Each structure stands twice: as C-alpha cells, then as structure tokens.
Homo-oligomer: A and B are copies of this chain.
C-alpha cells in the first residue's frame, strides 16, 4: 500500500519523521511518498492546489494524508474522503476542495478513537490522528469504521469569475520552482485560448503570446503557456516570470478574449 504525505512542516524539524515512524509502527509494509512538506505555513489553498495536481498520477487505493492544519486543537473535524478510487485524510478546512472539483467523492468524519493514538494532543494531530488513520486504513480497516458520512464538509471555490462578456477574473494559484505563475484558468474550461487571440493582464503587464514550449521564446521574454497540469501559466524562457512581473501567489489575473 502507498501513503503519500503533504504538509507545511518543512524538512528541518522532526514532525514529518514522527508521522512516518507512527505509520511504519502500525503498517510496516507501507511505501511512503512525500508529495511536499514545503507548503507555506497554514496555506490551505496552496496545499489544495498541490494535492489536486498530484493525486491522479498515483495508483488506485493510494492513501493521501494532507496535514495543513491551522485549526489544530479546535473543533474542526478530521475527515476521510474517497475520490477517484483513492483516499484522502485531512482536516476539514477546504484543503480537498480541488479534489472534490475533479472527481465524485464521499466524505466521512474521522470520529472513532480506536484508530487514533491513545492520547491525542491538542497541537500535533499529524502524529495523533492523521498518521494513525492513514496507517490503519492501509492495513485494511474499512472507511465506514472511521466515522459517518457527512455532507457539510468545507469546500472553497477557486474558479475564475466572468466579469464581462468575454473577460474573466482569475488568480495566481501558485508560483512554481521556475518562477512560472500558475493561474486558475484551466484549458478544459477555456479551450478557446488555443484558437482565439487573448490578452492576459497581470500586474502592469499585458501578455498576448501563447507559446507551445518554454524553449520556444527568446530568453527572458514573457508569454502564456498551457502548463503540464492544464492551467494557463505565465512564464518566461529560462527566467522567473514571477520576478520579472513582481507578482506572486494570490495576485489577480484577467483573461480577455480579443
């Protein structure tokens, strides 16, 4: 069985290792894969994006544990979601919103203390709730044993809005390692960007060029490109677009068909 981990714990502390120790103590044969531990602290939306881009490439029945948990110790519920033949264990704070968007799903609250640590701290549910739940699920505990199905789970919308006939307001979901700005305009919902002239407005910049490859533009030139996840990205060849534009995550973007 495969368990993936996505957290905002970074890689310098003992937190991730503790979760792995807990998992391997319960389910020694599990294979662990790190999605990332470099989510900005408390940034639920960034984590929502990352897990939504990664999960579909994993085998059926993979268990994804996502621990971005600013509300740890409060009343927010731990949940177990099933979607697309895979499992997701996370706090109920919207971090699975983009998974819900992309696949039919069923969500349960994790309430059965039998699958948690004997004593549950108020500050580290990654260790005491989410890791044990993932490990027990991997060992064959059935989803229904964790708790009841719920329908009032938290779900945020991260979709663009139409602001005029042919103009849409979107947002930068993430800046990747290469400085590419990933927007929330997905090619499946905006297929016309491939065939109609567009203007993308971000910061003081207006971008008209839709490139097919990163290497296809002059070094340093800004352009739009449909990225590997299907989202429209603003990029520059071998240069960080984010720096050229002075823009980051959360910045507004407008898409206008001309």
- Residues on B with C-beta less than 8 A from A122 are 212-213
| A37: contacting residue among B11, B72, B214, CB under 8 A | B11
In the assembled complex, the Cα of A58 lies from the Cα of B124 at a distance in Å of: 17
CB of A171 closer than 8 Å to a CB of B: no
Q: Are A17 and B4 in contact (CB under 8 A)?
A: yes
| CB pair B238 A70 closer than 8 Å | yes
Per a CB cutoff under 8 Å, which of B2, B9, B18, B213 touches A123? B213
Instruction: Write the nearest CB–CB distance from A226 to chain B, whole angstroms.
Output: 8
Beyond A38-B11, A228-B124, is A21–B177 a contact (Cβ under 8 Å)?
A: no
Chain multiplicity (copies): 3
In the complex, besides A13-B50, A18-B53, A73-B212, 17 extra interface pairs with C-beta distance below 8 angstroms are: A9-B177, A10-B177, A11-B11, A12-B176, A13-B177, A15-B176, A17-B33, A18-B54, A21-B33, A24-B59, A41-B177, A41-B238, A42-B238, A70-B214, A71-B215, A122-B213, A123-B214
User: Which A residues have a C-beta under 8 Å from some C-beta of B?
Assistant: 2, 4, 8-15, 17-18, 20-22, 24-25, 28, 31-39, 41-42, 50-51, 53-59, 62, 70-74, 121-124, 127, 174, 176-178, 212-216, 225, 227-229, 238
Pairwise interchain contact B21-A54, C-beta atoms closer than 8 A: yes
Complex CA–CA separation, A58 to B33 (angstroms): 17
Identify which of B4, B17, B59 contacts A36 (C-beta below 8 A): B17
Complex: A39 Cα to B212 Cα, angstroms:
25
